[in-house]
Amino acid sequence: MSDLPTLLLVDDDDTFRSVLKRALEKRGYAVTDAASVEDALPLAEASPPEFAVIDLKMHGASGLALVQRLHELDPNTRIVMLTGYASIATAVEAIKLGATQYLSKPANADEIVAAFGHSADPDKAVEAQPATVDRLEWEHINRVLLEQNGNISATARLLNMHRRTLQRKLAKRHVVD
């Protein structure tokens, strides 16, 4: 087992994480998994992985915090960020923090393994066609939210939007083009 490349898998969806863990183990990785950034940090700090697959939006801290910490621990760690909430703003942020690639869910094990070997191009990874107005609104909201470090109230003030309206928009899954 010690000869296998180590991989940290972090996703709060228990079923998805379990299925993906088995698939990655079949592809030759020694997989350690966690359901949150808070659970994953001690594992990563005790033994920095060679590879990581991290969900963006989880209960507790964002996957972006873990990407940054993993990159600080070992800049050679190949990190793939997964998300069901793809936007150019979060893709760019993930790449800046040290992610190797950014994939939209659902991504299968073969796509993830292939992503470990590619350099990231956030514009290409997320957008293949012109965005709709709803998609542009979603990306703008997320960009401002990132600039405000996740502060909903500050973001709502900057967008001239009621805080509850913003929370409802963020609770919805983004509009697929």
> Helices 63-73 and 88-97 meet at what angle, rounded to 10?
20
54: tokens are: 């991290």
Closest CA to 7 of 124, 17, 134, 131: 17
If one counts every other C-beta atom within 10 angstroms of the C-beta of residue 142, the result is 20
Residues of the chain with pLDDT under 50: 1, 120-129, 174-177
List, by residue range, all CATH 3.40.50.2300 domains of the chain: 6-126
CA 30/CA 76 separation, integer angstroms: 17
Residue 148 has a pLDDT of 84
For the segment(s) 6-126, the CATH number from 3.30.200.20, 3.40.50.2300, 3.40.640.10, 3.40.50.410 is 3.40.50.2300
Residue 35 has a pLDDT of 93
133: tokens are: 């107005």
Closest CA to 150 of 49, 37, 20: 37
Residue 132 has a pLDDT of 65
List, by residue range, all CATH 1.10.10.60 domains of the chain: 133-171
| Single pTM value for the model | 0.66
pLDDT tens for 72-84 read 999 999 999 988 7
Looking at domain 133-171, its CATH class is: mainly alpha
